[in-house]
Structure 1
């Protein structure tokens, strides 16, 4: 760690906004890909099922490459990997302009875009942010980064739709090339205080046996493995559950919008709390609240518009809140140079849980004609995650040094 004295709060916040431009644009673009579904079908002469399959591949590749990009950064640098990611995203958007066949679409989004987006993922950006602002301010920036992904999605959705309305897919893909190109110098600013590499000398390789035996990482891994399952129930099934309960679609969409705003608020608050409270205890509160709140909605709250809004806001406040303390504990106990790979591994298991949630929710709905079974599975997993998080504070955890 090259940062010896704490960075002032204004400098940390200013840097945080710069980092948020990089991470927020990447995350916001990826989560809004659904807006492009119909234009992509028309442009690539592909079916709904084919474009949906491209999106599924894109998300799986995005999750799978994150730990690989972390390992590549160990061999090269965060700057190299993030710059490569920006270039790949630029190339993918340029390729979309000529992707008039399904194989080209798969190459553009399932290949170039997914790999590029995974190279500008949370772990790498946070590691460079920690080098820049120091560990004292890192969780503040982590909260800002989490909020930026949601805010980026909120801001970019109408912008992308306006370009689609004006000029279709070519309009939105062409328009996005300029801001993506501007992300390259931003990536250089974000990585400007990374440790200087000596030619021919690489960072200490990850000692996987030591990681696998480290009690904090094991409990984090087990707890965070449930998080994707929970989040995708909300993203894939909650809106339809509100409508199934008799809530008009327009009002259900407003409840869902408030969920997004609450997610941003919760992410910022969690980043701030992670600098002032035990991060393991915060995770216990977040996971435990999810279980209790879900049971209250299923068996106590009337399924009316006001309570749908209340439920959505409660879920949003803890939606992305787990990321900051999870990343903070990785940074505290394990070498910072390992963090992009290890956080990427946590996000990969998050994506695996998301896959099972999305698919199991539909299967259980067909079987039971109710969302209650999948929510009850989620409650059990949240309780499990809370127990795993409580174990983090028990016993003594060693701080691993890269040079050990």
Structure 2
């Protein structure tokens, strides 16, 4: 694929480095569910403690994401990603220290949450979007997200092997070193002195916020993204324990989560490709409907190792396919000058859902002894998101004002 830009070398390097950053950042994050049982059992904690840590991580990530995006829009993605990489590595190291619940929650919840805000797609997509033409943004995001999905596939067996060989503390230290590798990759994402944008996009920070908050579609997009966050974190964190509760070992859970990441390589690529050809909000509605059907079939049909593998493959089609479409819609409607910041605000709604999915899953389990209610909530939220995304239009601000 050739991405047309005023500087194709800069765009190519940024695409490669940004993709590798997402591979590491999202890949490591995707493995946290493997640590729930060994950490909780070794420390004598209930599942709610670990679940709350991951839920807090997602809440901190979401709350800090608009500010990380604002800094990236103003100063470039390079320093934001570099600081995020250091915080990510530090947080993983703090998780490895056997120092009680408070220290674990600080590392897993607060420090990694801040690190993620600097090393994930709102910042990376904002940088790449300013380097490619508007008609190619969705595809560029899909390619980058596909590499991030490969990280989710590759890091699961690696992390399980590290846990077996080094115990969970040693595995977290090894992942901490890996996270620090994002620091040099940050320097491959150059700043763009003049974004590829039209004159109508040359608006101030305050005006961009007023424009976004005044649009119904911005709120619908954000509310729909809440369901994505709930489902992704609930499944990633609690699926291994759910399968273990039903007599299916951790090896199967690892393969299921790896299948999600593997299949999502194609899912995100084609979502980005089709997002350049079809109405992105319509595609989002179909994705959420697919998720609802996949989850319902998984929990209502008899559970087995085979059904778990099928669920992983089907869910992988829809896993992070929402991301390039959601961010692509933001770029289409509001332009790219403040995209990292506006994408971060939409992402905050995603992370509120992530907090609910991570924490509520553990809270409901500790009180009911099963995950039935949490699965039901995941299905219901998906159906709501179908209705929220369908009426969203991709008209630019100029087209909306002229209408």
Asked whether 1:387 is paired with 2:387, we answer: yes
CA RMSD of aligned residues (A): 4.1
Q: Is the 8 A contact 2:55 2:358 kept in 1?
A: no
> Counterparts of 1:170 and 1:245 in 2: how far apart (Å)?
27
* Aligned pairs for 1:296-315 within 5 A: 296-297=297-298, 301-315=301-315
Asked whether 1:258 is paired with 2:259, we answer: yes
* Aligned pairs for 1:207-222 within 5 A: 207=207, 208-222=209-223
Q: Is the 8 A contact 1:142 1:271 kept in 2?
A: yes
Deviation at 1:282, TM superposition (A): 0.6
Q: Is the 8 A contact 2:226 2:353 kept in 1?
A: yes
Instruction: Spell out, residue by residue over 1:115-135, the C-alpha distance to the aligned partner (whole angstroms, 9 max, x if none).
Output: 233112211111111122333
Q: Is the 8 A contact 2:24 2:148 kept in 1?
A: yes
Deviation at 1:333, TM superposition (A): 0.7
Distance 1:102 1:73, change over 3 A: same
Asked whether 1:183 is paired with 2:182, we answer: yes
Distance 1:57 1:47, change over 3 A: farther
* Aligned pairs for 1:103-122 within 5 A: 108-122=107-121
Q: Which residue of 1 aligns with 2:294?
A: 293
Deviation at 1:168, TM superposition (A): 6.6
Asked whether 1:24 is paired with 2:23, we answer: yes
Q: Secondary structure at the match of 1:320?
A: coil
Q: Which residue of 2 aligns with 1:130?
A: 129
Is 25-34 or 279-288 further displaced after alignment?
A: 25-34
* Aligned pairs for 1:148-297 within 5 A: 148-159=147-158, 180=179, 182-193=181-192, 195=194, 204-207=204-207, 208-242=209-243, 250-251=251-252, 253-297=254-298
Q: Is the 8 A contact 2:239 2:253 kept in 1?
A: no
Is 217-226 or 90-99 further displaced after alignment?
A: 90-99
> Counterparts of 1:169 and 1:365 in 2: how far apart (Å)?
23
Q: Which residue of 1 aligns with 2:76?
A: 77
Q: Is the 8 A contact 1:6 1:134 kept in 2?
A: no
Distance 1:79 1:362, change over 3 A: closer
Deviation at 1:13, TM superposition (A): 6.6
Instruction: Spell out, residue by residue over 1:255-314, the C-alpha distance to the aligned partner (whole angstroms, 9 max, x if none).
Output: 443233223331222122222222111112111222333444455x45444443323322
Q: Which residue of 2 aligns with 1:352?
A: 352
Q: Secondary structure at the match of 2:84?
A: helix
Larger RCO (CA under 8 A, 6+ residues apart): 2
Q: Is the 8 A contact 1:140 1:272 kept in 2?
A: yes
TM-score normalised over the length of structure 2: 0.78
Q: Secondary structure at the match of 2:205?
A: coil
Q: Is the 8 A contact 2:34 2:240 kept in 1?
A: no
> Counterparts of 1:93 and 1:252 in 2: how far apart (Å)?
22
Instruction: Spell out, residue by residue over 1:183-232, the C-alpha distance to the aligned partner (whole angstroms, 9 max, x if none).
Output: 33422222344538xxxxx9821433321121331221121122222223
Tell me, which stretches of 5 or more residues in structure 1 are unaligned?
197-201
> Counterparts of 2:5 and 2:45 in 1: how far apart (Å)?
54
Instruction: Spell out, residue by residue over 1:368-393, the C-alpha distance to the aligned partner (whole angstroms, 9 max, x if none).
Output: 76655443333332222111111114
Distance 1:111 1:386, change over 3 A: closer
The structure whose Rg is larger is 1
Distance 1:166 1:305, change over 3 A: closer
